[in-house]
Chain A
């Protein structure tokens, strides 16, 4: 099978890899780059576990043809923490018990990161909309919504 060379920024570090034609970005991140934070849930666009940011916007890596990120910036959960120091958003997930099995968590974190970057003070409805493409099958959404609100500017969790 023919291979295509691509270069992109992965969590602010330049990477160059050869990709199989037709390969999706999720496979390239996990198998070629070794970043296991984006998860494979369905490969069909329904679960959101594979969510990454491409040039700052949330995108499903399982439905992204790998070569379309050539020359672009891809960000994943692996780039959120500074070594062992978790980001404020990650700490808020811990404090709010927003993960049980954790399978959806990486996708949730990236959808929340995209939201908070453009909208540092989201309403509860805006948080719900931002994670509407991410399924969680065990924690339940309330804890996740509260964590994202906690991590937002203004901080205090708003229920309602």
Chain B
């Protein structure tokens, strides 16, 4: 089937074209979308190339940093103020993938891809759509959430951020799972901890039961053991070529325990 490629100069034009057709897909770096195109996937009828410069910008806005959806992994790694995200971006694919893979595309890459998306969810990030509507990532990742053209990601840097990626091939290698956690401890007790598993469901998911076990507690051995035992509760891992759902459930507590011990 012939594919149509359309380039639009403004966010509003891209947003309109995206809303008008289900077969229209936004092009980020194309590391996921072009695989579908190469495989002649009939669900891709139109490729939209948003050319608005906002998509390539990184700006500080108060406490938050606004990252354009078209910013690449290589650009995140090179940017001084995004040091907290660099360890995550560095683990996405090999150098050739990081040259083009974007932060916006990572939000929509199917599991077990989406390591950066998981990190952003743990950091409590928000997105601004092409129409200018702001919403928390939690809403974008809700099941059956309407599809959206993301223009910008807003995220506040954190010193309490921890990340681990579990993969079978190093240094590259797709995730069995990755875990991102934001664990602020004012006065020694955890306040609003956020723990996100990527690869344990169709989208990055918060481990709500483990978060509840941590909330208000010191990060001691007993709390860590309790939270780890609840790691996979409410999550919905799937079988794929990397690992089975059963395996993922079995090892999730081990990897969460190690992350929490490292943070303590």
- Chain A positions within 8 Å of B, measured between CB atoms, are 1-2, 4, 21-22, 24, 43-45, 48, 51, 54, 57-60, 62-65, 67-68, 111, 114, 128-130, 132-134
Chain B residues within 8 Å of A21, by CB: 2-5, 47
Which one of B34, B74, B95 lies within 8 Å of A130 (CB-CB)?
B95
Per-residue CB contact flags for chain B residues 41-71 toward chain A (1 = under 8 Å, else 0) read 0000001010000000000000000000000
- Chain B positions within 8 Å of A, measured between CB atoms, are 2-5, 27, 29-31, 34-35, 37-39, 47, 49, 74, 93-97, 99-100, 171-172
Give the interface SS of chain B, mostly helix, strand, loop or mixed.
mixed
Q: With A59-B100, A60-B31 known to touch, is A133 a contact of B172 (CB < 8 Å)?
A: yes
Query: In the complex the two chains form, is A60's CB within 8 Å of B96's CB?
Result: yes
Q: With A65-B5, A133-B94 known to touch, is A43 a contact of B35 (CB < 8 Å)?
A: yes
Chain A residues within 8 Å of B27, by CB: 65, 68
Q: Inter-chain contact count A-B, CB under 8 Å?
A: 84
Query: In the complex the two chains form, is B99's CB within 8 Å of A59's CB?
Result: yes
Give the interface SS of chain A, mostly helix, strand, loop or mixed.
mixed
Q: Could you pull out 22 A-B pairs where Cβ atoms are within 8 angstroms?
A: A1-B2, A2-B2, A21-B3, A22-B2, A44-B35, A44-B38, A54-B99, A58-B95, A58-B99, A59-B100, A62-B34, A63-B31, A63-B34, A65-B34, A65-B37, A67-B49, A68-B27, A68-B30, A128-B171, A129-B171, A132-B171, A133-B95
CA distance A111 to B98 in the complex (A): 13
Q: Which of A4, A60, A67, A130 has the most CB of B within 10 A?
A: A60
Which one of B3, B37, B38, B94 lies within 8 Å of A48 (CB-CB)?
B94
Which one of A62, A67, A133 lies within 8 Å of B93 (CB-CB)?
A133
CA distance A63 to B94 in the complex (A): 14
Measured CB to CB, the nearest residue on chain A to B169 is: A132
Query: In the complex the two chains form, is B172's CB within 8 Å of A132's CB?
Result: yes
Measured CB to CB, the nearest residue on chain A to B94 is: A133
Which one of B30, B94, B97, B172 lies within 8 Å of A65 (CB-CB)?
B30
Q: With A54-B99, A57-B74, A114-B95 known to touch, is A4 a contact of B5 (CB < 8 Å)?
A: yes
CA distance A62 to B172 in the complex (A): 19
**B31 smallest CB distance to A (angstroms):** 5
Q: Which of B95, B97, B100 has the most CB of A within 10 A?
A: B95
